[in-house]
Structure 1
């Protein structure tokens, strides 16, 4: 039996889907992966090849809006499927879901699945101008592509409800909500808190990740508690909503944020913080929050789809409204002025990570829902 996984971002293959690929290999599947940018991710592809995964390079522009190029991607995927004849296809993120599902249907793949890991730029913000046109196009494509699947997986119930409300998920197509991509809690150990209060955000540097709100709140808190540190891990993404280099440089130069860049392993950065933040406008289920929870860190995040599922307000963290700089600053100040909160809530985070977000439990459910025993 052959299983084909389609991705748009090679960095996600090991970190987010590695345990799933290993589970499929353990069940005797001939596992294939199709993804772009192999030349820039040689270490990832070497690791996958070592595991026994067959790799296929495809031409796919993750953030592009060229319909001719996208149709070329779909044709390339169709040719690949006609050649390797997979029994199962799973795509995740927008373009692999849309063009992978359509190609699989045209190629006659019997088991076609889609994983909605978040809604992205086109679904956040005001639906006006180019964003409105893009949103309408993506919704039309989703509606067509998902009608050709056997089942659609969502990472939070809000996204599932929205797709049903907008008619993007036909009533005849079953869906299933899973607890994000999960995290291998065995790879994370609870670390002691740093001596001084330290806050951390890990994200692509996009406006809708709440990076600007984090910087503004950090500036306010720094005035009252100058010993507190505010760290940022990430990179400037090719995206219309991206933070500019000049803006980032100003935050660093002013002493508001300490920028650590893009890290291959975020565990040391998480271990060196006392509170993890993600003031995002919307997520699927944020992997970085799960990593921080597994490290025994309390969470400050927004009462937004995908984010709110990770925090029981007042138990393992604090929920704040989206774009609410004052509330975000007040939550950080509370952790500084009540230092025992971090220990107590961090302990609860670890327990929740073990019970709800263990990657092996998540993958077991997904495979069962795909009919793979």
Structure 2
């Protein structure tokens, strides 16, 4: 593989791992990110001449560290902590091995999810710095304005630096207390990969793979019900990856997917994780969502889906988390069980929700149920609203086709 292509692939798949370790070694978010970019630039220059190193990730981390130290020396503003780091000289090779780098990612997640930061700030910071989402992607994932998210990220970095928040995975009770926000962050990363907020593709495989990998790391670190539940949910949803998009890029809805393309290995692994979650105390939000995904996975066809069981699971879920998005999904499930009018009645009760007003899936659901109920004019208006709000091209094309079908 040509060096530029290799470096590009490494950046897409390993840059956040490199960044996590550099933050530990250099102790500064901005310096670590700048040093990471310098290291990748150095790889483009040096590898064609010197050859590709045996362990490219370790090379990038080591080079980034040296670049960061050079910057500290040039600025002559290093703190005592930084000066002590420099005096330590070379770091042992095992500091750059896979296990160490994985641990650094967990440390970074828990640092970004420190309880001194507000929940929305924890989410925004981790999604931006740990997972490499753009500010705009983070904003859409949190249903917020990009400017608001950008300000939160800047303030969070400043607080971590000024308060000297430790870069570590907490222990005991503190670990369990901070787990909820960590799991939510991992699931938001997965969601952005599973259904991209914008662009030409339905999925971003690097993000879904990263979220699943982090879920597996967390399950080995803290084998609790909700950790297994989240991992089960991600595996079961990701098992449909190959069936969700046509070769020409068009989106395929769940009911139209070729289920022979679903990844049976991931389904079985997901079901095993779900079983582990249900055998442990306090299976909650993610475990119930995984149970819903499992009902789809077990159905041999869309027609055989047990919508009665799914609605009952949503009834449990809405008691655990009465959020507008879960209420929306429950309304769609009720429509599948009881008919489109039942779903439309539920959606009408959600119409005043600020969180759903600009959420394209709310308008897309209304459009689909109006279409099924034979209310063509209302369906047309709802499809137009959904099309205006979606930023993902395959979603937009699907909605446009359905709108055109109404005209015909």
TM-score, normalised to structure 2's length? 0.26
Q: Which has the higher contact order (CA 8 A, sep 6+)?
A: 1
Greater share of residues in strand:
1
Q: Which has the larger radius of gyration?
A: 2
Greater share of residues in helix:
2
TM-score, normalised to structure 1's length? 0.28
